[in-house]
Amino acid sequence: MPDTSGQIHSENIKAWEPPRQTIVPEAGHDPYRLTTQFPEGTVCPDCGAAFRDGRWQWSAGKRGMPSGATGEWVCPACQRVADRYPAGFLTLSGPFLASHHEDVVRLLRNEEAAERAEHPLNRVIEFKDSGAEIEVTTTDVHLPRRLAEAAREAFGGEVQTDHAADQDVVRISWTRADAHAPAAPLEKALLPVEIMANGIVMSLEVQQYLNERVHHLESFYPRILSCRVVFDAPLGHHRTGGPFIVNVYVDVPGTVVAVTKQQSDDLHVAIRGAFDAAQRQLQDYARKQRGEVSPTEAPPRGRVIRLFAEQGYGFIATADGQELYFHRNSVLEDAFDRLEVGTEVRFAEEQGNEGPQASTVALLG
C-alpha cells in the first residue's frame, strides 16, 4: 500500500484499494488464488480460456478473443506455468512402474487430458520421466490426486498424501513395490473383440489406433468380458469421409457399458470420443463396485435450469435447492445435445476446482 503520510485526508477522498484484477498472497496463503472476480468475458491470451459465470472455462470456439470478450488477463494456470510455481507434486515409483512403464504413462496422459478438458486451471506444468521414476508438477492440487487415484484403481499400489492445512501445495506419491512380471501369453485369454465397420474403409493406422484403444480399456477395468465396436454413417456417405458414428459396447460382469453415437467428421476423433466416454463409465462402475458409491442408493435427481450449449456446460437445480455446474463431458451417452432447460436428470456430485459440481449426468426416461 502506498505511503500516504503527510497527505491531507478528507471524507470525500476514498481510501486506496488494490486493483480489481489482482492476485495477492494473502488469499488463503495461495499467491495465485483470486480475491475478486474478473469482469465477465475476460479472456486469457495464452490459453484462450474465458472467465464466465464466476469461473475460468474453455471457449466454445477457437483460441483467441471470442465474441463478447471484454479484455485480456493471464489466467492463474498460465501464470503458474510461466512462473514455474507448482501447486501440486506427484511422484510415481517402484519396480512395477519400471516393468509397466508404457501402460502407466498412457494412463496418466489420458487422465491429464480428461481433467484439463473439464477444468482449464488444472494442468501439468512438467512431466519428468526417468523410466524408473516419474515426477509430475501441476497448476492445482486436484490433478495430482486424480492421477494417483487412477494409477491405484488401474494397477493397485499405495498412495500417500502430504497436504498441511496451512500450505497452498499438495505432495502425493504412488508406488507399487512388486515388479509383477507379465504372465505368460497363454495364461491370459485374449479379449474377445467384434468390430462392425459397415463398409467404412479404415486405414492401417486407424485399425492400429482402434486396437490400442480397445485393449487399453482393460487398464480401467481388468475384468472385461468382451467388446463390440460398431461404425455407422448417414445414407449417401462415401465410406471414406465423414461424418463417422462410433458406438462402443463393453460387456462387464453385471452390466454392459454402452456409448452410442459419438460422431465426428474425422474418424480418429470419433473413435477417441467414444473410448474416452467408455473409460469414464468403466471408472464410475469400478468405483461403485468398490463401494465408493452405494449400488443400492438411488443417485440424486435434479432439473436443468440453465444451459449454455455453445460453451458446453450448464447448471442443475437439486432437490435441496442447490445449483450445480456440469460440463458436457460429464453427460453420459453423449446426450448433452439432447438436454433442454427443464430436462430431468440424475447425477453424482463431486468436489470440483471451483466447488461442488455434477458428474456422470444421465437423462431420465
Residues 190-289, CATH architecture: 2-Layer Sandwich (3.30)
* Domain ranges (residues) in the chain: 17-84, 86-175, 190-289, 301-363
Mean pLDDT per 10-residue section of the chain, whose length is 365 residues: 42 39 41 64 86 78 50 87 91 89 86 85 92 91 90 87 72 87 50 85 84 87 88 61 82 85 79 88 81 56 91 88 85 87 86 72 82
**Residue 229: its pLDDT value, please?**
92
* Sign for the pseudo-dihedral over CA of 339, 341, 347, 351: positive
Q: Which CATH class for the 301-363 domain?
A: mainly beta
**For residues 50 and 69, what is the distance between their CA atoms, to the nearest angstrom?**
8
Residues 106-125 as b or e (16 or more Cβ within 10 Å = b): ebbebbbebbbebbbbbbbb
**Residue 297: its pLDDT value, please?**
52
Pairing of β 170-175 and β 71-72: unpaired
pTM for the model stands at: 0.45
